[in-house]
Amino acid sequence: MVFLLEDDTYLHLAFVTGHDSKKAMLKCVGYDTRLYERDERLVNTAVIYTADVKKKPNALNIGTLTYDPGVILMADYDGDTTFTELQNKIKSNQELSDTDVLRLVLLPLMSHTMPRYELASSAIALAKTISDQQKKDACIAATFAFASKYLDEEKLENLKEVLEMTGLAKLFIMDERVAIARDMIKDGEPLAKIMKYSRLSESEILKLQEEVNDELQTAT
């Protein structure tokens, strides 16, 4: 995930769930150099390792280039305790700080006794009880967005049901489906296949095809 910050630099957040640190670092450095080549903005990267990784990996050294991004080990954070603390704070109607919001969003990546999917579901369910609508929407959207980086397709589909199709969830899921469809259209995939993977209707995809074609013609 890449964010454009107020100081006109990029913040690149990379999520790593396995132990192949070298492969993850190579992927990140390639992404960062392409970003800089394209926009010539400074890129600051933080690699967030899920609780599966207990020890901070070494920097990547390939000779002239040393790549040493920030590292966050979620194994250092107790997910069970964090969940209880946030739950009590929300139940007592205390205002959540920005740090609390971040803790809730990253909750499923922390060290915990529950399976990651269950903790993601619980985090969204807890976020839905937040009284501040803006923070509620931010927590739900961000938790789901981050979950898409570490859950498999089946678990992600189940997580969508936890959202109970709130207005925010509908917009979020529709954006995701449109993005999938647009990529498949650009790759020249057949209509039936696009419908299967994006779950959009035939008329919605045909409309997107017109938009994509217009964009491509304008670009040329």
Residue 169 lies in a domain: no
- 183 and 119 housed in the same domain: no
Are the CB atoms for 139 and 101 separated by under 8 Å?
yes
What pLDDT shows up at residue 220? Answer: 60
Residue 114 within any structural domain of the chain: yes
Q: pLDDT (tens digit, 0 to 9) for every residue of the chain, 220 residues total?
A: 899 999 999 999 998 876 677 888 899 999 999 999 999 999 999 999 988 888 888 899 999 999 999 999 999 999 989 999 999 999 898 888 889 988 998 888 899 888 888 888 888 888 888 888 888 888 888 888 777 777 777 887 777 777 665 555 566 667 778 888 998 998 889 999 999 888 888 988 999 999 888 887 776 6
The model's pTM: 0.66
Please give the Cα distance from 45 to 31 (Å, whole number).
10
Identify whether residues 14 and 55 lie together within a single domain: yes
Does some domain include residue 6?
yes
Is 80 among the domain residues? no
86 located within any domain? no
Residue 83 lies in a domain: no
Q: Count CB neighbours of 132 within 10 A.
A: 14
**Distance set, CA 220 to CA 38, 52, 148 (Å):** 19, 47, 34
The domain of 117 spans: 91-157
The set of residues, in sequence order, having a beta carbon less than 8 Å from that of 41 and lying 6+ positions away, is 4, 8, 9, 10, 35
Strands 66-67 and 43-49: unpaired
Question: Token match 């630099």: residue?
Answer: 9
Q: Is residue 124 assigned to a domain?
A: yes
Q: Which one of 43, 75, 107 terminates a domain?
A: 75
When divided into structural domains, the chain yields a total of 3
